[in-house]
Structure 1
């Protein structure tokens, strides 16, 4: 099956991109018509260009500040709470180590058996991430995400009441089932509001705040360790209860604050009709839209058959395997270095997390200024992670190992900001975006399922050298996968960088938009989605 797309834009004629597009004056009547929220301007390029030309750079910044205020802090705290849930499982293992109130002794876990506490939570992710993400358009992000937090928070708090290892494993499975869909749901929702060249901004907040998870989680466990014995409960039980109650309370904030879509009724509370139309009109024609149906089989099939979808999927899966494995074992490495006794050793988890936060800000600076393509930044972070794994199985000094812990978080944490900004460039339509991100997140969660099993007690004899070599091999595979994905999207990335630079230049001159930006982004999106699917694209400049 082969389709044809023709374009007469400067991209195919070899002509330089215009520095400014002159548009005819637009009348008040026409503006009123364009503010009709039932009208999709993305299918009417002339009306769209004329409408966008009525906005100044300052107006654009003011509108996007409103959007940022609704998303950035909130989604950052959402992801932080999710990461606390995972990271605390590893930290809780070290609480009251050697005492009867330690979770391993109290529930009868061996070191290897306890790895299943993390693994069994990842299994339902693989099963439920995709169907959960497909429901987000039908249910609305605010309702669906708040349901996710409410249910997983209740079950997490219940983990503090378990009496056997089997009960804990059963509840952790339920936590994973109820938590599934949170992460891909946020990524999908952002694609309704942000262009691919600017989505790095909210994603930076997402990952910066989430990197406080280790810091906050360590402090929760540190405080809970002093509650050991209070009301007859062990410290690790208090850690689960505190975390679960906080998650339930946060569900209420999500319900009232998290936006749905630009033209949703909820959005009219803080946006004018003109601003709502602007937010959707500025996106590429194939971007998800408020009026899209909840399900479109054709969009799902195109997303499923695109090689780019699978390339990005392998990128995330391989990085997750290495990342989750190391994140799971990192608290044990740090506690075993002997720099401090428990509970003070828990505070040594904070510097690696702080290094990750600093690295994310560096990534934001690079991507927002479009100094070079996003895949370059991803590959640099993967190379840095590879070096860290080499250090773990070669360095023997305590100081050197702790430095490797800090560096590993510096590189691993910074990978996902440019990666998700890069990933959003190929999503098409509401169903296509939900399906692609849901499918990817389902399979990529093998990282949280398999990763903790890499550190088996049988390899403790040589300081888990075998485990670190496996992590090195996995990350080497991630490097090859990222290079493949870059090759598939190389032309798109060049154009996205050009769009970003033109955007920055236009804003300095007081302009919110110019036609070259609209054309480049639209063509970029079309080419990526169609190039790797069942369609063939032939661009022509003689039309």
Structure 2
């Protein structure tokens, strides 16, 4: 099993374990595959540690948030309910609900910042202790003013939990794994609704025990578990895979490799203003936010008014509390099933569209049925609850899977859920107390309209993404454009030169005027040597058009490497001149990341790792001349989310390095020292890394194609002074 490539066997190179506490564990990922069995065991281990605890946390949060809906009608017939004892009107009650949501909207984004800054276990434990204490204090409220202030504070401390948990999962799971886990956590809200009704039914029998009304006991008894559980979370909630003591070194390697491109990273760099600006100004994300606004009103109104709705269906007092259990219980099961299906078939948008439509049908039926049709309307309530709750986890998973940096994920999730707060505010106003006898038509029609909006929005965004993906096939056109930040660049126009050309069929050399001395001198002085080559560009296009992988596990990928790298006389001559023996140790495609400068290896006394980057036509790369000679202490590079070393362009300039823009108008290649700083200005280069045996000992071996036809090619590639570090060969 190969998990990731360490570009080092000593602290000078990227990824030294000795530097882990200084954010320097930059393990340069390999294209070698992770053993599926080991990965499956790792995910199960993570699930056992994380998901039950996260679901329990959210269940307690939701209990403490929504129990005010139970308190409103609990023991109403005896005059010992919340409104009677605090002299609140229905209007006052709605204001108290809205105040909570205003605080919730204001504090979601800053809370996600502190979650990353203070570690998830510390921040979430602090939030739990705070909201649990406030919930207990609500049991002592005697006026509208006190209830309102406490509800505002409750919103402040509960605001960060749900977006924080969604963000937290991106540290541990790949996009296709998140929806069902988000669903499990979110479904605990529906479970809390079911438990809340059952608990309220039981606590209602404690009315006037020790001279306290049932609603006061409800707040006290549901606040205490949050306070006590905060200590458990402080010590037991794991923060990041790289710091989890219960993961072995191999499991940490697998976790890092799994999420190298599609996850967030606990020790990645902090958000910059440019990160924030590019996320805030991305119009497609605002479409996601508007869709989430639409689902938030049904979610909020059902959470807070289900006890009132059931009370209007002919169920009185404590029985009304008990009858809130079936809608929530059904929604819990449906939410889990829908999220599992959305992940399995990778169709989050369509699942959300379908079930928001089902929820809309439930609300429309409730609004049109006669007010005294209690049983049919109760059935429609169950359908509406199932549809409304089930479409939320796929929506959140859909958003996070279309974001590709830690900074963007954290901010976008918080903005998304903050945009839901206005929708939730709508939800607290639409179920009017004076419409109880009519069956709350305003609330039902409003929710139906918003759910139809969600369904149409999901289908529209799905169509947009399909269109963008089809248009991007076979091109280097970036899916999302972010502003570039780098100083003035010196554009190097390629000079005419006699270069080696590869015969398209065999990869043999068609020109013999290549000057090896010039290439070796350029790499030693500048750090890189480049060639314009249209054949390389065309072959990359051929691979893209056939949707083939640039990987040693793919027969086509291995043939591409043989024909365009190993059999390229220019590349082979440089490698054979530089090393007694070396081997390909990493083979992958580096994604475009305009505005960010990276190194594949940080520091080192000599050039003992060489990299070949192949570019197709129309692509551009920026290479910092002389950066390979700058000590790592001077540049102060830090590990980035893509598992490479990121370095500030200002530090490179101060060190006397010069940025050179290579414009590959027809395609071409660059041979570079791995210590050279570079930027993928436009396009995604095919990248092959070569190292001698003493370096390769710390690298995982590459996996060859798993078929008999590959054996001959594998044997061929193992001969000569340039080999491949295959798992089957066991080179030293």
Tell me which interval the TM-score lies in, with the shorter structure as reference length: 0.7 to 0.9
CA root-mean-square deviation: 3.4
Matching residue of 1:172: 151
Matching residue of 1:231: 210
Q: d(CA) in 1 for partners of 2:2 and 2:246? A: 30
Q: d(CA) in 2 for partners of 1:523 and 1:451? A: 43
Match of 2:78 among 95, 99, 107: 99
Q: d(CA) in 2 for partners of 1:335 and 1:488? A: 44
Q: d(CA) in 2 for partners of 1:30 and 1:358? A: 50
Matching residue of 1:475: 451
Match of 1:142 among 113, 121, 129: 121
Q: d(CA) in 2 for partners of 1:402 and 1:520? A: 56
Higher relative contact order (CA 8 A, sep 6+): 1
Asked if 2 retains the 8 angstrom alpha-carbon contact of 1:284 and 1:525, the reply is: no
Matching residue of 1:391: 365
1:49 is aligned to 2:31 = yes
Give 1:41-440 correspondences, 5 Å limit: 41=27, 44=28, 47-50=29-32, 53=33, 55-264=34-243, 267=244, 269-285=245-261, 287-338=263-314, 340-370=315-345, 373-396=347-370, 397-440=373-416
Asked if 1 retains the 8 angstrom alpha-carbon contact of 2:592 and 2:681, the reply is: no
- Structure 1 residues 364 and 442: CA distance shift in structure 2, 3 A: closer
Q: 1:538 Cα deviation (Å)?
A: 7.3
Q: 1:283 Cα deviation (Å)?
A: 1.6
Question: Which structure shows the higher strand fraction?
Answer: 2
TM-score by length of 1: 0.81
443-452 vs 409-418, which deviates more?
443-452
Q: d(CA) in 2 for partners of 1:399 and 1:521? A: 59
Matching residue of 2:651: none
Deviations 1:196-245 (A, max 9, x none): 01112322321233321012111221121111111111000000001111
Matching residue of 2:498: none
Q: 1:166 Cα deviation (Å)?
A: 1.3
Q: d(CA) in 2 for partners of 1:432 and 1:59? A: 30
TM-score by length of 2: 0.61
Asked if 1 retains the 8 angstrom alpha-carbon contact of 2:107 and 2:160, the reply is: yes
Asked if 1 retains the 8 angstrom alpha-carbon contact of 2:108 and 2:160, the reply is: yes
- Structure 1 residues 389 and 539: CA distance shift in structure 2, 3 A: farther
Aligned residues: 484
Q: d(CA) in 2 for partners of 1:25 and 1:422? A: 27
Q: 1:537 Cα deviation (Å)?
A: 10
- Structure 1 residues 482 and 281: CA distance shift in structure 2, 3 A: same
Asked if 2 retains the 8 angstrom alpha-carbon contact of 1:129 and 1:441, the reply is: yes
User: SS of the residue aligned with 2:241?
Assistant: coil
Q: 1:156 Cα deviation (Å)?
A: 0.6
- Structure 1 residues 293 and 524: CA distance shift in structure 2, 3 A: closer
Matching residue of 1:531: none
Structure 1 residues without counterparts, runs of 5 or longer: 1-21, 496-512, 527-535
Q: d(CA) in 2 for partners of 1:24 and 1:260? A: 21
Asked if 2 retains the 8 angstrom alpha-carbon contact of 1:211 and 1:354, the reply is: yes
- Structure 1 residues 154 and 30: CA distance shift in structure 2, 3 A: same
Q: d(CA) in 2 for partners of 1:399 and 1:460? A: 16
Q: 1:355 Cα deviation (Å)?
A: 0.9
Asked if 2 retains the 8 angstrom alpha-carbon contact of 1:311 and 1:484, the reply is: no
